[in-house]
Amino acid sequence: GGVELGFLSATSDAELALRYAADVTAAVDGAKRVVLELQTGLLTRGADLAWVSQYPHECECAFLPGTGHELIGKRIDGTCVIIAMRLSSKRQAETLHEIITKLKRSHLQLIEHYLEDMRVCEVPEKALGRLRALANTHSRYELGHFNNPEKYRESTSAAVAAQKQAISRLAHPSTWDEVPGDGPEKARKMEKAAAYCRRVGRGDVASALHRLAMSLAAGKGSWRPWRPGGSLPPGPNVKALA
């Protein structure tokens, strides 16, 4: 047995196959005729190409790349060796439309991953504006946009750039102006966002956030900033982490 990596072309006319095999062997001294007899089923019938072929008398049919061949027997018919093969193919083979749809879905999931990751880390909504706008815009693109390698690359680069911009904005105090809560609560959220920044390789923003958090925490008694894996000390107006 084996697997055909390309399209497999065959004919439904047994007499034609035997005649073609005879023509080939006649040109080579000592060669024997060998014909593959392909046994098909409901899922491995192949595509009838006679209606679009320049040689409709050949009764050509084609099978998908990746079709498996299993040897089930052989017999002699006169001067010809007939090898019986059973075909098997992928039952879940996707159409081109389904594959392109997956490209679009994976791109939108990348943006959604960025948004969800930062939402869990309590990043201010003000920093996420560009990412949300991209998600809204890219979701309206036709499938053909994502089938173009250059456009797909540009869209992905735009998503990555928007995520980097969102992280960079966290270092600006104005990003936190509209965040609800008192000083200690804002500082806790800053430290949590700083942990996210360190995780994605933005130590510069994490350090800036830590300084902002410490400035808010100053003068708040025994209150201490939140640390990854740690817990908040008891204190007024400080919510416990979920």
Interval 124-149: pLDDT, tens: 999 999 999 999 999 999 999 999 99
241 in a structural domain: no
Q: Which of 62, 88, 114 is the last residue of a domain?
A: 88
Structural domain that includes position 65: 2-88
Does residue 217 register a pLDDT over 80? no
69 in a structural domain: yes
52 in a structural domain: yes
CA angle (147, 150, 155) in 5-degree steps: 85
- Predicted local confidence at residue 195, as pLDDT: 92
32 in a structural domain: yes
- Predicted local confidence at residue 112, as pLDDT: 95
Name the average pLDDT for the chain: 83
225 in a structural domain: no
CATH code, domain with 62: 3.90.176.10
Residues 36 and 130 in one domain: no
CA distance 88 to 44: 6
Residues 128 and 146 in one domain: yes
Q: Do residues 159 and 134 touch, judged by C-beta distance below 8 A?
A: yes
Residues 145 and 172 in one domain: yes
- Structural domain total, the chain: 2
Residues 83 and 104 in one domain: no
Q: What is the average pLDDT across 204-225?
A: 72
Q: Which of 88, 114, 135 is the last residue of a domain?
A: 88
- Predicted local confidence at residue 118, as pLDDT: 92
Residues 169 and 127 in one domain: yes
33 in a structural domain: yes
- Predicted local confidence at residue 91, as pLDDT: 62
CA distance 188 to 181: 10
- Predicted local confidence at residue 184, as pLDDT: 82
- Predicted local confidence at residue 19, as pLDDT: 86
What is the phi/psi pair of residue 18, to 5°?
-65, -40
Contacts of 186 (CB under 8 A, 6+ apart): 176, 179, 213, 216
Q: What is the pTM of this model?
A: 0.58
34 in a structural domain: yes
- Predicted local confidence at residue 214, as pLDDT: 86
Residues 68 and 174 in one domain: no
131 in a structural domain: yes
Q: Which of 88, 110, 136 is the last residue of a domain?
A: 88
Residues 144 and 208 in one domain: yes
Residues 110 and 183 in one domain: yes
Residues 83 and 107 in one domain: no
pLDDT tens digits along 180-193: 888 888 888 999 99
Q: Which amino acid is at 215?
A: S
Percent of the chain with pLDDT over 70: 85
Percent of the chain with pLDDT over 90: 36
pLDDT band at 225 (very low <50, low <70, confident <90, very high): very low
Residues 82 and 14 in one domain: yes
pLDDT band at 216 (very low <50, low <70, confident <90, very high): confident
Does residue 60 register a pLDDT over 50? yes
